[in-house]
Each structure stands twice: as structure tokens, then as C-alpha cells.
Structure 1
Amino acid sequence: MQITGNTLFIPGATSGIGLGLALRFQALGNTVVIGGRRTELLDELVAGHPGLDAVQIDTTDPDSIAEAFRTVTGRHPELNVVIAMAGVMQAENLRDPAFLATAERTITTNLLGPIRLLAAFEPWLEQARNPVFMTVSSGLAFVPLPATPTYSATKAAIHSFTESLRVQLAGTPVQVLELVPPAVQTDLMPGQAESPTAMPLEAFLDEVMLLIETQPDAAEILVENVGFLRNAVANGSYPRVLGMLAGAER
């Protein structure tokens, strides 16, 4: 992926990693369109960051995705990068029947959302200049956090889906990238923004932008902090890492 000269659409960029990436790309002179559900928050962000554009989108709603596609491509016919950032993460007790509503909402947002975004935008990207479709998985795609089983499962599914997508689009100009974050100090989970075990957001963004710049042909964007999860199966540490995530070293 080239780091400049892009027009990007980032659904799920009203806070955290998504907003951080949006502002980093904008600072490099790219045209950036952020997406989110809350129009008042989008308006606030646009007012605070001149040049940023925003489009309302609910990635759990196919009609909203279709409308956002028409709006983004109508305003920005040079669109060439879509980053499927929107996601939710909630703890679940699988012995409590109430977990099912959380699981269904998580699957709709984290898995169906990116798939629907791909279906809407991929034909457009094939005609674009230097096109990129970026998914966002997680280190937990490779070793699950038992407290968030459905989140971890959706991120494993996104990784698998991205691998297949990359193979199927190999004959097209669309580059398929997978961003694989570790725990980052954001509000994704309660208390995560202050967690000493999570990576500071600005440090994460620094490393991600450097990787994109220095490894333009990479398939996965892997900061150093996510390596212990990404490589756990290969290096034989999976049982230990899973035990650590479960809260008890095995």
C-alpha cells in the first residue's frame, strides 16, 4: 500500500485506532472519509479536523452500507482504499443464556459488516488506481481471549476470510491487507484505555504507519507487540499463551 496519494474510506473511525489512522493518513495529504453511526459525533470530528469528510454508516445494516457506498463514491470518485475498521468487543459468560444476544451482535458487526463492505466496494476498487481493501483482525484471531469468545472467533474468521480473499483477488489490482492489532489503549473494552498491558495508541500508530511505508507489499501489518500471539502456534507457545490469557499460567 502506498502511504500517500490515496482517498480512503474508514467505517468505524470515530475513535480509537480507526480515528488515529484517519488522522495519520490525513496528515500525510491523503483524502480521508470517516464513517460512523452517530451523525453528531461525525459533525464534531469534521469541525475539529478541517479537510476531513464523514459519512453516516451502520455496518450492521445492509441498506446503510449501500447508501454509504453511493454517498462516498459520489463525493469522492477517486476512492481507492477501504479500511473495514468497525468492531465491537464484549465479555461473555457462555453459561448465561443472555450471552447469545451479545454473540449475535458481535458476529453481525465484526464478521458480516466487513463482508458486506467488501461486497459493496470491491467492484469499485477493481477500477480504482492503486486499490486496497484492508481488514482488521486481532492478535486474538490466533490465540483466543476466553473472556471474549465470540469476539475472538470473529477475528479468527476475518483472518481466514482475508486469506481466501487475497487468493481470489490475486488476478485483480486490489491489494488485500490485514491489520492485526494487539491490545491497544483504546475504549474497546472497559478499562482498556488505562491498561498497562495494552500498547499505547500513539506508539501503535507510529509503528503501523512505518510498516505501511517500509513494507508496501506486505500481506499482514504486524507490530512487534502482537508477535507472541501471531506466532504462538508456530513456536509451540500456544498452550502457555492461552493459559496466560485465561488468567492462569499453565
Structure 2
Amino acid sequence: MPGISVAKCILIIGATSGIGRALALAIHALPSKPTVVVGGRRRARLDELAAQGERFQTVQVDVNTDRANLKKFVQEITIAYPALDAVIFSSGIQHMFDFKKPEEIDLDKVEDELNTNYTSIFTMTTFFLPHFLKLSAEGKPSFIIPITSGLAVVPGPWVPNYSATKSAVHSLALSLNAQLADTNIHVMEIIPPLVESELHDHQGMTPALSKVWMPLDDFTKAAMDGLLRGNVQITAGFVNLNWDHFEKGKIEKIREAFQRQNHNMRIESS
């Protein structure tokens, strides 16, 4: 499987902070000199990134929106950047919910978290696929790269909906990998551990988590190593142990099951 260094134009959605921003800078610095389109809600931060290199392009986008707006966004991006051959989904929000206090659970926040972390990714992937399938038919590789979480493998009960959304994207990545195996579209899932970021600031947890999280620079190096190798799943830190215990060999079994199903369906239809 090819690595990200063959990509010529990479869109990173959720690039204004944390992992998304760090990957944008690292990818921009690659010797292959790709165009890096950075997307996010905060214009000032997009402008700050754009000032760091002429191959940075910016687009303001909030993925927590309806289907029509996401379709319009994807259409405009693929028209503006016909060479676009990779998309990294890095947008995410996280909330804590206590089921012992159900009256305090804000279901609007639950819906926002679900839409931002999962539904928008499913929707945009669906809208990007015609463009990537066209590239595949032309013999050109492309990449779909969702960023999930170690909590997709072993959930964190303090963030139950966040864990569920990341688990959903993880499952989606496995299914996409199986369905697109005979194309030139490559699905590469990044599965981070707890990493230094602003994600937890609104929860008041940053001081405690900062004592145990993986430094962003260390994680970025590990993630870039995996992207350059073309790894289907990219893990780091404590996620390596959980992946070995719960996930090792799963992707091969899913592919085999999908191939058997297709074989059986062909027999039944003949």
C-alpha cells in the first residue's frame, strides 16, 4: 500500500488545533511538497497556518451542519482542487456525561458530538467517493484517513458518547477498507492515545490529563511514520497494547468475510 508521500493535494478537516494542525505542518514539510488545504471553523487560526507556507490553502468550514451544506462544501472543494487525492478527518468534540444524573445530560450536546464526530464523516466520505473513484479508474491512488481514538477500542465510560462515535468511525473505516480493497482508494485509520490537545479544556481536565498524555510532537512523529509507510491502522502509546489484544487480525477477517459474502451472492444470482 502506498504511503501519504505520493499524495499531491491533501485536505485536512479540523486543522486549526491539536493533531490536525500538527499533521498539517508535518505533511506540508514533506519533500514531496504537496498542496495542503486546511479546513476549520476559526479564520484567525487558518490564516496563521496559511502564513507558514505558500503551499497552504485554507477553507472555512463547520462540519456540524446539515447534509446540503456538506455536499456543497465537498463539491466546491473538488472543483477548486481537482488534484485532491487525500482527505484527513480530524474534527472532533468531546463531552462528559454522567448517567447517574440523567436529568443533567444535555441531549443537544449529544447530537452535536454525534454529528461532528461521526455523521459528518460518513456523509462527506460518501460525497468524496465519486471523485476518488474517478481517480482510481485513472490509475491514481487516493486516501481516506479518519482519526479515531484509543477509546474506539476500549471506551472511556466518562465520555460515553465520544467513545461511541469514535467506535463508529473505527467500524466504518474497517468496512470501507474491505469494500474498497479492489480500488486504488486507500483507507488509513489513525488511532491516537490520549494526546496533548485543547480537546479537554472546556471540561476542566487539562491540568490532570497533561500529566499522563502523550506529547503532541511525539504522537505526530509516530503518526507520520505510519502514514509514510502506508499502514492501514496507525497506533501509538498505550493503544498499541489494546490493539494487539482486541484488534489484531480483525481487518483480515473482515475482508475474508466480505469476500465470502460476495462469492455467495454471485453463486445465488447465477
Calculate the TM-score normalised by the size of structure 1. 0.86
The 8 Å contact of residues 10 and 83 in structure 1, kept in 2 or not, is answered as: yes
The 8 Å contact of residues 199 and 225 in structure 1, kept in 2 or not, is answered as: no
Kindly indicate whether residue 157 of structure 2 is the aligned counterpart of residue 157 of structure 1: no
Q: Distance in 1 between matches of 2:227 and 2:46?
A: 26
Distance 1:5 1:173, change over 3 A: closer
Shift of 1:201: 0.1
Shift of 1:89: 0.9
5+ residue gaps, structure 2: 249-270
Shift of 1:232: 4.3
Which residue of the partner structure matches residue 226 of structure 2?
Answer: 211
Q: Which is higher, the Rg of structure 1 or of structure 2?
A: 2
Q: How does 1:116-135 map onto structure 2 within 5 Å?
A: 116-128=123-135, 129-135=140-146
Q: Which moved more, 1:18-27 or 1:31-40?
A: 31-40
Which residue of the partner structure matches residue 263 of structure 2?
Answer: none
Distance 1:17 1:159, change over 3 A: same
Distance 1:234 1:21, change over 3 A: closer
The 8 Å contact of residues 192 and 198 in structure 1, kept in 2 or not, is answered as: no
The 8 Å contact of residues 20 and 205 in structure 1, kept in 2 or not, is answered as: yes
Q: Distance in 2 between matches of 1:173 and 1:10?
A: 20
Q: Give the letter aligned to residue 3 of structure 2.
A: Q
Distance 1:151 1:4, change over 3 A: same
The 8 Å contact of residues 111 and 154 in structure 1, kept in 2 or not, is answered as: yes
Name the SS for the 2:4 alignment partner: coil
Kindly indicate whether residue 41 of structure 2 is the aligned counterpart of residue 30 of structure 1: no
Percent identity of paired positions between Structure 1 and Structure 2? 33
Shift of 1:45: 2.6
The 8 Å contact of residues 214 and 237 in structure 2, kept in 1 or not, is answered as: no
Which residue of the partner structure matches residue 113 of structure 1?
Answer: 120
Distance 1:233 1:77, change over 3 A: closer
Q: Distance in 2 between matches of 1:144 and 1:210?
A: 26
1:60 paired residue among 53, 58, 64: 64
- Superimposed CA distance per residue, residues 145-177 of structure 1 (whole angstroms, 9 cap, x where no aligned partner): 111000001111111111111111122211111
Distance 1:234 1:87, change over 3 A: closer
Q: How does 1:1-250 map onto structure 2 within 5 Å?
A: 1-6=2-7, 7-28=9-30, 29-61=33-65, 62-94=67-99, 95-99=101-105, 100-128=107-135, 129-190=140-201, 191-192=205-206, 195-213=210-228, 215-216=229-230, 218-233=231-246
Shift of 1:48: 4.1
5+ residue gaps, structure 1: 236-250
Q: Distance in 1 between matches of 2:108 and 2:60?
A: 25
Calculate the TM-score normalised by the size of structure 2. 0.80
Q: How many aligned positions are there? A: 233
Q: Distance in 2 between matches of 1:232 and 1:98?
A: 35
Name the SS for the 2:117 alignment partner: helix
